[in-house]
């Protein structure tokens, strides 16, 4: 049975934001008629206001302002250009996107520019000091203040959306941080303040927004089934999203993750699953805690390595093991995460895109170089995992653990064959893949409601 999403119904009103795919001739005729006014059969122009009607409207507006005060028309822009600020408050760091968007008539919105600036650590690192957590965002907000023209500050939406890092904290600690963040922004900046300025974003939203952004950059808004699947591996969680053409054939435990939603002119069955606690950094914690004693030992670390690792406000003393190897690391990963992920055969029919930490680790292993990434196979990840574990490089202490975990996800959890091909990317057509753009589109749609 398909879920009607509680919050997802407003995620993508793509009747507003989708791109039209008329032929060039149709677009030319449509745009010409909009400019000239389409003529009726008797030769009189349509689509223009008559002079008497225009006078009536102007007088009505004047009287309305005189007796009731100015209308709130802040959602309009004479230039059609808008700014939306999204702060991605992740588990390992906070990243700001200052989106410049332009209205494109019936074509929805067009992304003009994404000014991006990251910093570390993330908000979750300040669990004991919420005020310091809020103040940590100052460099990001100052960056946005300079990027948005002064005359647009008060009309510019700013949203701070926390992901897995704050989801993992206790509700009280997370809420204290979010409250301080909201108060800090209100007190120090003149951006437009809307309800829930700072909030924890549901993992389902995160996954769908990233999928929307990916398909937008791929220009996949044709009203036909979308073949694209997206896997976004973060620090605290990972998200898997794709349009399923056969929801009834999904495994029983996966059917509850299918949501009916409008995307690109069609009602679609979108499979979206967020695996909280299975992001790369949280996977490290679970694997390292299999060790005993004050110093945590793991066969996934270089044998001669000893040191400290900080994550989520905690410091772990860690070291390698005399049994460090690819096979022993894979065994440790299997026993830790066995059964946590549901394999889905339909994934093997998709145009599969993997990004975030998957790109980073593929780059560290030499699989990809430029930000546009490359097409690689599951076998390629198996190879670099074996190479990393064999090299035992102390200065790349987590490369064995991380690549074995990623290889486990593909080969064992999702049961992809070794020759399965995927796109491993950081950017598509020059734009960085992130859920933030999808979130910005939703903010613009909600602003019009």
What pLDDT digit, counting tens, does each position of 36-80 carry? 444 444 444 444 455 665 565 555 555 544 444 444 444 444 457
pLDDT digits (tens, 9 = 90+) for 279-292: 999 999 999 988 77
| Domain membership flag for residue 382 | yes
**What residue has token string 């992920």?**
341
Task: Provide the pLDDT confidence category of residue 176 given band limits of 50, 70 and 90.
Answer: very high
Regarding whether 388 and 254 lie in a shared domain, the answer is yes
| Domain membership flag for residue 7 | no
Q: Which range among 10-19, 239-248, 381-390, 426-435 shows the weakest confidence by mean pLDDT?
A: 10-19
| Residue in 380, 347, 389 with CA at minimum distance from that of residue 362 | 380
| H or E element that contains 87 | strand 81-89
| Domain membership flag for residue 101 | yes
Residue 7 has pLDDT above 80, yes or no: no
Structure tokens at 98: 């200052």
Segment of 17-31, 156-170, 327-341 carrying the highest mean pLDDT? 327-341
Regarding whether 108 and 173 lie in a shared domain, the answer is yes
CA 216 to chain centre: 12
| Domain membership flag for residue 423 | yes
Regarding whether 182 and 275 lie in a shared domain, the answer is no
| Domain membership flag for residue 348 | yes
Task: Provide the pLDDT confidence category of residue 195 given band limits of 50, 70 and 90.
Answer: confident
| CATH number of the domain enclosing 118 | 3.30.420.40
pLDDT digits (tens, 9 = 90+) for 78-134: 457 899 999 999 888 999 999 999 876 555 678 999 999 999 999 988 988 999 999
| Domain membership flag for residue 114 | yes
Give, as one character, the DSSP assignment of residue 45: B
Regarding whether 105 and 253 lie in a shared domain, the answer is no
pLDDT reported for residue 60:
54
Task: Provide the pLDDT confidence category of residue 225 given band limits of 50, 70 and 90.
Answer: confident
| Domain membership flag for residue 256 | yes
Regarding whether 226 and 374 lie in a shared domain, the answer is yes
Domain hosting residue 99, numbered range = 81-201
Regarding whether 170 and 134 lie in a shared domain, the answer is yes
> Percent of the chain having pLDDT more than 70?
81
> Percent of the chain having pLDDT more than 90?
63
| Domain membership flag for residue 366 | yes
Q: Which range among 215-229, 291-305, 348-362, 390-404 shows the weakest confidence by mean pLDDT?
A: 215-229
Regarding whether 245 and 142 lie in a shared domain, the answer is no
In whole angstroms, give the CA distance from residue 407 to residue 361.
11
Q: How far apart are the first and last CA of the chain?
A: 30
Residue 297 has pLDDT above 80, yes or no: yes
pLDDT reported for residue 75:
43
| Residue in 311, 331, 302 with CA at minimum distance from that of residue 404 | 331
- Tell me which of 144 and 443 has the higher pLDDT: 144
The residues annotated with a catalytic role in the active site are 206
| CATH number of the domain enclosing 331 | 3.30.420.150
* Average pLDDT of every residue of the chain: 84
- For strands 237-243 and 266-276, give the pairing: antiparallel
| Mean pLDDT computed over 385-391 | 97
391 in Cβ contact with 269 (< 8 Å): no
Residues whose CB falls within 8 Å of the CB of residue 165, separated by 6 or more in sequence, listed in order:
89, 90, 91, 92, 122, 123, 124, 235, 236, 312
pLDDT reported for residue 449:
46
Q: CA 407 → CA 106, 242, 378, 423, 448, distances in Å? A: 44, 20, 7, 15, 44
In whole angstroms, give the CA distance from residue 328 to residue 333.
9
Specify the pTM.
Answer: 0.76
- Tell me which of 29 and 314 has the higher pLDDT: 314
Regarding whether 134 and 174 lie in a shared domain, the answer is yes
Regarding whether 231 and 191 lie in a shared domain, the answer is no
Regarding whether 329 and 258 lie in a shared domain, the answer is yes
Regarding whether 273 and 354 lie in a shared domain, the answer is yes
Regarding whether 226 and 195 lie in a shared domain, the answer is no
Total domains in the chain come to 2
In whole angstroms, give the CA distance from residue 245 to residue 248.
9
| Residue in 96, 89, 85 with CA at minimum distance from that of residue 156 | 85
């Amino acid at each position: 049975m398909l879920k009607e999403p509680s919050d997802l119904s407003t995620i993508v009103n793509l009747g507003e934001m989708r791109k039209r795919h008329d032929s060039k001739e149709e677009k030319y005729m449509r745009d010409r008629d909009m400019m000239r006014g389409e003529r009726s059969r008797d030769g009189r122009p349509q689509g223009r206001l008559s002079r008497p009607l225009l006078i009536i409207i102007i007088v009505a507006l004047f009287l309305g302002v005189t007796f009731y005060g100015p209308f709130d028309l802040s959602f309009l822009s004479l230039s059609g250009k808008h700014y939306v600020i999204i702060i991605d408050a992740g588990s390992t760091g906070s990243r700001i996107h200052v989106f410049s968007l332009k209205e494109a008539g019936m074509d929805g919105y067009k992304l003009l520019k994404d000014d991006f600036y990251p910093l570390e650590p993330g908000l979750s690192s300040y669990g004991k000091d919420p005020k310091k957590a809020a103040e940590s965002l100052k460099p990001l907000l100052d960056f946005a203040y300079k990027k948005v023209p002064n005359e647009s500050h008060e009309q510019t939406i700013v949203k701070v959306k926390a992901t897995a890092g704050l989801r993992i904290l206790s509700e009280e600690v997370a809420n204290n941080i979010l409250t301080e963040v909201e108060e800090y922004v209100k007190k120090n900046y003149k951006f437009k303040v809307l309800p829930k300025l700072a909030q924890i974003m549901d993992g389902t939203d995160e996954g769908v927004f990233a999928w929307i952004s990916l398909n937008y950059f791929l220009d996949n808004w044709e009203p036909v089934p979308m073949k694209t699947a997206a896997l976004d591996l973060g620090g605290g969680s990972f998200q898997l999203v794709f349009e399923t053409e056969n929801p009834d054939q999904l495994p029983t435990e996966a059917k509850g993750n299918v949501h009916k939603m409008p995307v690109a002119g069609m009602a679609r069955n979108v499979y979206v699953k967020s695996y909280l606690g299975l992001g790369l950094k949280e996977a490290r914690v679970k694997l390292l805690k299999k060790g005993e004693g004050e110093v945590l030992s793991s066969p996934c670390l270089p044998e001669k390595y000893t040191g400290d690792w900080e994550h989520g406000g905690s410091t772990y003393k860690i070291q390698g093991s005399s049994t460090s190897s690819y096979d022993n690391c894979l065994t440790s990963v299997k026993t830790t995460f066995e059964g946590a992920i549901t394999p889905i055969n339909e994934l093997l029919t998709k145009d599969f895109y993997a990004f975030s930490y998957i790109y980073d680790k593929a780059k560290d292993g030499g699989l990809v170089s430029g930000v546009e990434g490359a097409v690689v196979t599951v076998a390629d990840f198996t190879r670099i995992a074996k190479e990393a574990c064999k090299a035992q490089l102390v200065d790349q202490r987590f490369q064995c653990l991380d690549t074995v975990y990623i290889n486990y996800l593909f080969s064992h959890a999702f049961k992809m064959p070794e020759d399965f091909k995927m796109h491993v990317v950081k950017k598509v057509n020059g734009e960085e893949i992130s859920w933030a753009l999808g979130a910005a589109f939703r903010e613009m749609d909600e602003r019009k409601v």
